[in-house]
Chain A
Amino acid sequence: MNQKEFLAQVNPIQDRLYRLARRLLVSDDEAQDATQEILIKLWSNRKKFKKLRSIEAFAVTMTKNYCYDKLKAKSSNNLQLVHSNYEDQHYNTVKTSENNDSVNWVFKLMKELPEQQRLVLHMRDVEQYSNSEIAKELDLNETAVRVTLSRARKTIREQLLKKHNYGIK
């Protein structure tokens, strides 16, 4: 497989990998680094592609594990990075700035979810994976996925409503 073929296969999934990394690592720079790293790893593993059921699932697992490793290393270093760069420069701003603020607030809420919930919510609501795909990826059963998803959504709703009603009630 040459570079061109490889890139053609990887192109449709690299954004997904990036977003997953971004959701887990939060920082944009780190997520870009992680994605780059993963793509290079995939490149060196390209001979295995033919044997794989799905390159995407393989890459997602790889990314997930890579990010967990990164997070673990970070917490063991006692290093806490605080990121506030939730803005996305590429987003064409149709929304009002007020709306954008509350969108960033949602991102912040997502970041505060437990890892598993964050991952499930991201895979479902951003990447639109089916519950069975998520279950396979995270080694859970589908009911557990649904429950986790529901919990994550409800937590966010609670926080959102709290903020929305702040100063009113």
Chain B
Amino acid sequence: MELNKIEKLLELYFEGATSLEQEAQLQDYFTSDEVAGHLAEYAPLFGAFAQAKEQGFNRNIELPETKRSWRWVPVAASILLCVGLFLTFNQKQGSEHDLGTYKDPEVAALKTKQALFMMGNFVNKGTGQLEKLETFEETANQIKK
């Protein structure tokens, strides 16, 4: 390349006005063996850039193994548990519904009677206990008077 072109490029270079292609031309020129004597002081500059470009990372890196994340396991487990509980609960309710129906109206009436009697018994048992309370109140009233 002609010398005056190089000189011109060099001037532009120091003004920060060269393009990347022009800088590549300068680089080529100054790393060749035919650098003109009066430009020799610039050779180390481009030599340094050329040399810097060749430096590289030369270590073998060991990437940490992808750890299997156990973070979601407890969440999944609790969801499963909830679903399980919900299902069993639902099933029980379903079977109770089944038990409550009789197809024969007579049997149904009989059973209802039985059930009401049973309830009546329970209620009577409860009122039996309440009579004691009544005597207690009476005596309490006597004392108050």
Contacts and interface: CB of A to CB of B under 8 A. Distances in A.
Interface string A127-169: 0101000000000000000111110011011001100100000
B102 interface: no
A99 B52 CA distance: 15
A161 B67 CA distance: 57
A106 B48 contact: yes
Contact of B59 (A35, A149, A164): A35
A157 B42 CA distance: 8
Nearest to B63: A43
B14 A160 contact: no
What's the dominant secondary structure at chain A's contact region? helix
A36 B61 contact: yes
State which size class the interface on B falls in: 20 to 34
A126 interface: yes
Contacts of B49: 125-126
Given A43-B63, A103-B44, A153-B13, 4 more contacts: A90-B56, A99-B44, A103-B47, A150-B17
Nearest to A106: B48
B44 A35 contact: no
A106 B45 contact: yes
A160 B42 contact: yes
A149 B17 CA distance: 9
B20 A40 contact: no
What's the dominant secondary structure at chain B's contact region? helix
A156 B53 contact: no
21 contacts: A6-B63, A14-B56, A14-B57, A18-B57, A19-B55, A22-B55, A40-B64, A44-B64, A88-B51, A90-B56, A90-B58, A91-B51, A103-B44, A104-B48, A106-B44, A126-B52, A128-B23, A128-B24, A146-B17, A153-B13, A157-B42
A39 to B, nearest CB: 5
A88 B55 contact: yes
Interface of A: 3, 6, 14-15, 17-19, 22-23, 32, 35-36, 39-40, 43-44, 88, 90-91, 95, 99, 102-107, 110, 122, 124-126, 128, 130, 146-150, 153-154, 156-157, 160-161, 164
B34 interface: no
B54 A88 contact: yes
A43 B53 CA distance: 25
Interface in B1-28: 13-17, 20, 23-24
Contacts of A146: 16-17
A95 B16 CA distance: 27
Contacts of B51: 88, 91, 103
A90 B54 contact: yes
A35 B61 CA distance: 9
B55 A154 contact: no
